[in-house]
Structure 1
Amino acid sequence: MLAVVAASRYSSRLCVVDCSFMLPKLPLLGAVLASFALNCAATPLTRCLGYPDDAKLAIVNADDVGMHPDLDRAAFRLLDEGKIQDLSLMVPAPHFAAAAAEVRQRHKAVGLHLTLTDEWQEDYGWGAVLPREQVPSLYNPEGRLWGSIEELAAHADIDDVRRELLAQIQKARDAGLTITHLDTHMVFWRIRNDFINLYLSLPKLTGIPVVLQLLWHPVAQQLPLSRGEQLRGNVVADSYIMQYNPEIRPQNLEVRYDGYDFAVRNLPPGLHQFAVHPAEDTPDARQRIGDIMLRLSDFQVWEGPEIHRLMQEKGIQTTDYQRLQALQEAINRQPRNCLNETPAASR
């Protein structure tokens, strides 16, 4: 099983059965899913990027960049070594400015890890980009962002959410960053229907693709959901794979590799994102970051040679979100495009 996250708004439990069994129970990601003939086949995304239909593509993206210097150093090291392809930065986080400077030095286009919560609170707190007077529903009584997505769901006004997300994008652009993709910290996009609708509207509004973080579903169940969003004009990867299991890793570090090994060995044709959370081992990181053991083990996996050797053996090629962002802009201009062509018309 590729995902290890508990209940979501789409399903009360993880499921490994055929996707056609599970999907009728899911609420819509978009209206097109009501009439879309669901199947578990690969989507046309690889073909849109100039690869054959049976190509296996991967993007390895480190998120939480800008939160802590020891996380940032690990992510930039993996990027510089060519062991990951992308980063996503947290604009409200304490070290965003330093991380943005590192990005500019490398002339690298990056993603944004849109952030509406602060799980660290008094230990390592931050607020929104906009002041409390402009987005009051996003602040807790202590003057920080809410500490959990449950609190965010209970208090957030959707207009405040929209203003803040656009402000984070604008602040990153003002910092000289070229933005290639948007994802969400603590997967907040799925906590309410209005959050879902807002998040999935951002590609047309901004020209930046979003990441469909469906990590609680196995890959086969993600493919038709991703296809539905592609038909709506959103350039999303075919699946999203994240091994976030901090309650297991300290007791069984072999899990750090086994999960990724399983994912790589069973990856179907298509374009798939691996979301990773690397960190360097320092006393400050161990003191401040509650899930540091998971982050250290993620760094060990992706810094080492084994996973990259396996990807090569399985014929998995890597790409980055800059190509998807260019495709998103092209699709925004042209409603009829490679993502909504029939297979016969695209050959």
Structure 2
Amino acid sequence: MSYNIPETSKTYLVTGAAGFIGFHLSKQLLEQGCNVIGIDNINDYYDVHLKYARLEVLKPFTSFSFVKGDIADQAGLMALFETHKPNVVIHLAAQAGVRYSIENPDAYIQSNIVGTHNVLEACRHHPVEHLLYASSSSVYGTNEKVPFEESDRVDHPVSLYAATKKSNELMAHTYSHLYQIPATGLRFFTVYGPLGRPDMAYFGFTQSYFAGRPIRIFNNGNFEQDLYRDFTYIDDIVEGIERLLHRPPAAEEKAPHRVYNIGNSHPEKLMVFIETLERCLSQSLGREVCIEKIFEPMKPGDVPATYASTSLLEEAVGFKPKTSIEEGLQRFTDWYCDYYRLN
């Protein structure tokens, strides 16, 4: 990335720093000479070895400080703010996953509701220049109007995960209004890439292939009404966040709070995505790859399509995600084969 957005004199607090997006953002900030404080509880929702591998990449940076802690621990989070006095907070820590929210709802209340409330309280008592926080395309639920725009109604979430993310937006708006905290919500659309999350479909498909297992596709085998997803490469997500870091909503407004979509604005059929994954794996391995597939009904909480309008983001910072799935998936499969020593 050739642009230089962050102000290196500032201190940036990244919650969820050992997570997928948190790691990549922290790395980018550190490479540009910024002072980054990371916090993560390293939970076992997915393979913790991957989280520690991300932290190993960040460890050599002398301007990086890591705190193993839980944002649901209000006293610990307040102490972190008191000690490090961050100028900008990027709140990415959350319990992720749509289907897991049906199996383990308590984790979502603790991390996404209690944890976000604690971050807002910390920003209230230790004022920051800008709070950016992760929302999700899941808030759009079964919205049939495409592309999804930030002005669309998002009152019908179809999973607890989506409900917690919508709650985060409401909570942030309220704190912004009451305490003039400049806050920006980021609705991410299906983020993928190297060192990604194993619970995401593309990662799981790849794991299944190497384990000799078929993959399960939840589209009823209906290729005409296939699932569509707005797949967004991790570098585009990071660039979008960086460009917004020092563009807080206007302080003179009653609620200095804004929400932006960050998506590729080019939804792909899930089957096209899988075919591209097969081609990229073939390229990485030097042999033809064909993944066995089983078709099943859609699962509760799934939505048929996601499609981001990024007009507001383009207007605000002149940026639109642009990485194609061919380019992004090739980078992922090259990393995967190297990381798991499959070459």
Q: Same fold (TM over 0.5)?
A: no
Instruction: Write 1 or 2 for the structure with the bigger share of strand.
Output: 2
TM-score (normalised: structure 1): 0.33
TM-score (normalised: structure 2): 0.33
